Amino acid sequence: MGTADLLATAAVPIALLFVACGIALVLYELVSGWRTRRTSAERRAATLLTQWLTPTQRAQYETQGHFTVTGCHTGRHYLIRHGRQANIIELDARGGRLSSWCFGPEGELPTGDILLAQKIALETDELGAIAIANRSQHVFY
């Protein structure tokens, strides 16, 4: 087999390699752009959340990764930890963990927005929030 034959045989795999590299580059740019937008949204949501937290809640969240809220109807205390699901823990009068609750807004939202929605729901419409929440006796924290 001569040089011309080798070049002709190698041309197709080399061309496919260039196409694959081009596709990989386009996909990388798409994912990288999505990641940048997602990171920016997470930062904005975290800022908004901290603006809505009381000084005590803010200190809890910054040092422990969770904060407590008081339900507007029952006066029960709930611990909301940083997370997207099963992140609400009902506390007893001494701060012991009773059960886990899971509820939140629909959609792919930044974590800070989810935590803020949970805080507002429990502080302004506790019974409505609990009515739609999933409850587990197992505490996931």
pLDDT digits (tens, 9 = 90+) for 72-102: 999 999 999 999 888 999 999 999 999 999 9
Closest CA to 52 of 133, 129, 123: 123
pLDDT per residue rounded down to tens, the chain (141 residues): 565 565 556 566 666 666 666 666 555 665 666 556 678 999 999 999 999 999 999 999 999 999 999 999 999 999 999 998 889 999 999 999 999 999 999 998 999 999 999 999 999 999 999 999 999 987 766
- Identify the CA nearest to 130 among candidates 72, 66, 84: 72
Which pTM value belongs to this model?
0.74
Distance (Å, rounded) from C-alpha 139 to C-alpha 38?
29
What is the residue type of 5? Answer: D
Buried b (16+ CB within 10 A) or exposed e, 3-30: eeeeeeeeeeeeeeeeeeeeeeeeeeee
